Amino acid sequence: MTKQDALPRRNPFPALSACKLLRRGILQYWCQRHNQQLNFESIMQLSWPELLNEINDLFIKITRDKIFKNEKEDFLSHVKQCLKLNKTEDWNYILASEDILEDSNAAIINFLRFGISGPTKYDEIGEKYLRLYGVLNATYMQQQAIYNLFRFFQCNEVHNKKKEIDSLEIVTIRHKLAAHSANYEDPESGKMHVFVPVRMELNDFECSYFNHYNDEYKTVNLTNAIEEHLKLMYRIYIEVVKKTVTTVYKCNKDKRQELISKVEPFEKMLSGCGLMKNQATGEYMVISYVSAN
């Protein structure tokens, strides 16, 4: 169930903790209006990686409910029929993609919390390199996992979606600093470039790198690049869930509408709304913003 209210834009919701919202009386107002009891400890504001986990959980529940409702002895053939897959082995790739998405998300959440330095009291350069290389490859693994799901559930415009993923800034950073540093082929000139991070400028949420081929020096904001990545992964996963529902429940209009309605709170985040979750009830609260004028 979704509850929706309007907040003035002068208080941009994503920048406020639940505690700050509570002090401003916004949550109390919502509860009074909708006759709800508020347990502050159970209310959480969802970040982009947490939202991705929520979508992943919803996708898993939808597919498993369908599969295990009337399970048959030939399990893989049963799954193929239930989910309208092209091949029985697609199920194995789907399982792995779900796990990879969740695991990579855990790495990204940790990075966004602790940065390149990590949760350590030591100024350790090796730790910084590990975390830089790690988070860049975590985003890449996540992209491949989402793309797998997009393909296996036969979503539209697969080629264009791949191009959209490849155009992300974090993909370019990953290729230059954590995959092809010594042999990066410039897409425009076809020349081989070589990139190294500037050790003295490995800050928690940004880093600089140097190109020995042409003396290019650049600083990148890792937080912004990761957020751009997460928003795209989130949007693509919503497309996957909706396509899965419409395909699997093509002949069951009521069930199709019921499941699509569960996706609606997540879609509203893409239009600039905020989303909070009551951990006790599982209910989502969608917060819309309006001009204060």
> Measuring CA to CA, which residue among 68, 86, 57 is closest to residue 241?
57
What is the distance between the alpha carbons of residues 110 and 80, in angstroms, rounded to a whole number?
Answer: 36
> Measuring CA to CA, which residue among 270, 282, 222 is closest to residue 242?
270
In the Cβ-directed half-sphere of 103, how many Cα atoms lie within 13 Å?
Answer: 13
What is the distance between the alpha carbons of residues 19 and 194, in angstroms, rounded to a whole number?
Answer: 47
pLDDT digits (tens, 9 = 90+) for 41-97: 455 678 899 999 999 999 999 999 999 988 888 999 999 999 999 999 999 999 999
pLDDT digits (tens, 9 = 90+) for 193-203: 999 999 999 99
For residue 4 the two structure tokens come to: 């929706």
What is the distance between the alpha carbons of residues 252 and 62, in angstroms, rounded to a whole number?
Answer: 14
Angle formed at CA 1 by CA 261 and CA 31, multiple of 5 degrees: 150
Straight-line distance from the first to the last Cα atom of the chain, in angstroms, rounded to the nearest whole number: 30
User: Is pLDDT at 17 greater than 70 in this prediction?
Assistant: no
**Residue whose tokens read 């009891």:** 37
pLDDT digits (tens, 9 = 90+) for 250-289: 999 999 999 999 999 898 888 877 788 877 777 888 877 6
What is the distance between the alpha carbons of residues 69 and 77, in angstroms, rounded to a whole number?
Answer: 15
- Its pTM stands at 0.84
For residue 101 the two structure tokens come to: 């998405």
